[in-house]
Amino acid sequence: MNNNDIVKVFAPATVANVTCGFDILGFPLENVGDVLTLKVVKEKQIRITKIEGFDLPYEASKNVAGVVIQKLVEDLEIGFGFEVEIEKGVKPGSGIGSSAASAAAAAFAVNELAGRPLKTKELVKYAMEGEKLASGISHADNVAPSLVGNFILIRSYDPLDIIRLDSPADLFCTLVHPHIQVNTKDSRKILKKQISLELAIKQWGNVAGLITGINLSDYNLIGRSMNDVIIEPTRSILIPMFDKIKEASIRAGALGCGIAGSGPSVFAFSKGKKMAMAVNDIMREIYRNIDINFDLYVSKISPKGAFVIKNGN
């Protein structure tokens, strides 16, 4: 390698949990994410030189991308340093994997400049270091889909076992991000530490049904299974108009509706783009009526995760 080695990487925003799959299910969105530029430098240090979009720490040890790069440099015994530029396309606190997008892009970029010594799935554990810094928990349901693409099931965390599931061809996601901030650490603190066996059985059935529905492209089964009886009842109180959005979306024909990650974003699945756009209009109207600023996205489940935008000078 030489001092002119440089790579620009895109990593997509993601929806974690997918209603009933807390910490074990996630998928990436199309056309929204973070861009990270990584440049090799002689000095063996990591310097974040530019952050666009949001006010985030420049100190590498306090930045999610920085800690991911540090860990990879250490484990791969890389003998040079990096300059880092981050373009934030995913708002922090949005519930669609802001920290995960930066962490995934960082892991992918380092691996690219190091000659790809690691497989993409092997990068997930490094990207999880960024999630640990951001939320205190090393969860993979955002970083794994942001790196690998498509639906991701984390079958196990110890050892880490990641399974990629192809999305049904006509499955669309409509997502609204109200401009309020829900901190992931705080939203985890309010969750119950224990649940009844009865609720656990219901949740297990829904998770199994959702995964089966995805595998069989059974849209009705996907819809019947999008029922979170453990996390949503607690977290939904943090999201303005959640119940109304969910009820109106399903009444209009959406397969199901739930919280994206820790919120405040809310997503719905639909069969076909026409229905997804109708749900988009419903979400827009609800938030317009209560005078909350918001962003709206209509997307298929992205079949790819992080990728190189530009290699070299």
Q: Which residues are catalytic?
A: 131, 184
Give the three-class secondary structure for 7: strand
Hey, what amino acid is at 28?
A: P
| Nearest of 95, 254, 182 to residue 246 by alpha carbon | 254
E-assigned strand segments in the chain? 6-16, 25-41, 46-52, 81-87, 151-157, 160-165, 171-178, 256-259, 266-271, 294-300, 307-311
- Residue 159, preceding peptide bond in cis (omega within 30° of 0): yes
**What's the chain's Rg over C-alpha atoms?**
19
Q: Write down the residue that tokens 């929204």 correspond to.
A: 32
Q: Nearest 5°: CA angle at 215, between 214 and 216? A: 95
Query: What is the dihedral angle through the alpha carbons of 150, 154, 160, 166, rounded to the nearest 10 degrees?
Result: -30
Instruction: Kindly list the distances between the CA atom of residue 176 and the CA atoms of 36, 77, 213, 268, in Å, as whole numbers in the listed order.
Output: 25, 42, 24, 9
Contacts with 106 (C-beta within 8 Å, 6 or more apart), sequence order:
36, 38, 64, 65, 66, 68, 69, 84, 127, 130
Residue 91: CB atoms within 10 Å: 18
User: How does DSSP classify residue 33?
Assistant: E
